[in-house]
Amino acid sequence: MLPTYRAILFDLDNTLFDYDSSAQAALIGALEEIGRVADGDDRSALRADIYADYHHINAELWKQLENGELDLNELRIHRFQRLFDHRGWSDTDWETFSRRYLDRLASDVRMLPGACRVLTALHHRYTLGVLTNGIAGVQRERIRLSGLAGCFTAVVISGEYGFAKPDPRIFSIALDHLHSPRSQTLFVGDSVTSDMAGADRAGIDFCWFNPENTPHPGMYTTRYCIRRLDDLLDILAENQEIRDPQRITPPS
């Protein structure tokens, strides 16, 4: 029998917020500030090229952080050191550049399609929370600017606790803040390595937000899979009626 959920817990970046667009704008803006990207440059080609490098480097470092091999302070600096080394740029103050980038990122909020509609529809019926591995000051400011802070009973940011998703301890902290039992909580996120793996380890039902329709990796139990955030409303309506659970189980 399917549970009736009391709380819905959301990942933030690339689940509710369009992190990739904000990060690209913040990176290019910060590079313009220090003169690495000039107004006359072919901005769209250059943006795509530089951001592709950064995205690759940043994703690798976040995986190291998820594995406990790196802390947030190291990540903040190393990603730009590696990017600048890769592009042959030198003489940069990493700490200052990181601050420029994070200041821009903190003030850039872009919601993914359907995110506002879904949160507004759900927050009267469920206890809602956020569980993110992002940098605390940046994430809190972006939530404030989104105008949606009032929707959330709990905002848990791993950088404030010393362990990050997929560590089950950070999920336990989020459940405590939500005052919701594990069995009556649904976690919604986009990442296989932090969200899907973490929910599986923590024993929390998981809804995979998978807009690119990437094949399921198979090793983690996932209760639902959605390509649009609005689909969550249908799932939760069905959850009351228990019609078509769309359960995905790992291959035996």
Q: Does 11 participate in catalysis according to the annotation?
A: yes
Least distance (Å) between residue 138 CB and Mg ion: 14
**d(Cα 71, Cα 170) in Å, to the nearest integer?**
15
**d(Cα 227, Cα 214) in Å, to the nearest integer?**
10
Residues 6+ apart with CB under 8 A from 81: 94
DSSP state letters, 91-137: ---HHHHHHHHHHHHHT---BPTTHHHHHHHHTTTSEEEEEE-S-HH
Contact segment (CB under 5 A) with Mg ion among 142-150, 188-196, 206-214, 234-242 equals: 188-196
Indicate whether 58 belongs to the interface with Mg ion (CB under 5 A).
Answer: no
Indicate whether 66 belongs to the interface with Mg ion (CB under 5 A).
Answer: no
Least distance (Å) between residue 14 CB and Mg ion: 4
Least distance (Å) between residue 195 CB and Mg ion: 6
DSSP state letters, 132-176: E-S-HHHHHHHHHHHT-GGGEEEEEEGGGTT--TT-HHHHHHHHH
Least distance (Å) between residue 119 CB and Mg ion: 16
Angle at 64 between CA 249 and CA 94, to 5 degrees: 145
Would you say 22 or 31 has its CB closer to Mg ion?
Answer: 22
Indicate whether 11 belongs to the interface with Mg ion (CB under 5 A).
Answer: yes
Indicate whether 239 belongs to the interface with Mg ion (CB under 5 A).
Answer: no
Indicate whether 127 belongs to the interface with Mg ion (CB under 5 A).
Answer: no
Indicate whether 190 belongs to the interface with Mg ion (CB under 5 A).
Answer: yes
Quick note: the x/- pattern for Mg ion over 14-33, rule CB under 5 A, is xx------------------
Indicate whether 139 belongs to the interface with Mg ion (CB under 5 A).
Answer: no
Which is nearest to 167 in space by CA: 202, 129, 206, 217?
202
DSSP state letters, 204-238: -EEEEE-TT-PPP-SSS-BSEEESSTTHHHHHHHH
Would you say 37 or 65 has its CB closer to Mg ion?
Answer: 65
Indicate whether 141 belongs to the interface with Mg ion (CB under 5 A).
Answer: no
Residues 11, 18, 167, 195: which is the catalytic one? Answer: 11
Contact segment (CB under 5 A) with Mg ion among 7-15, 153-161, 209-217, 242-250 equals: 7-15
Out of 10, 13, 171, 185, name the contact with Mg ion by CB under 5 A.
Answer: 13
Contact segment (CB under 5 A) with Mg ion among 8-16, 46-54, 76-84, 172-180 equals: 8-16
Element spanning 7, H or E: strand 7-10
Which residues are at the interface with Mg ion (CB under 5 A)?
A: 11, 13-15, 190-191
Indicate which residues carry an active-site annotation.
Answer: 11, 13
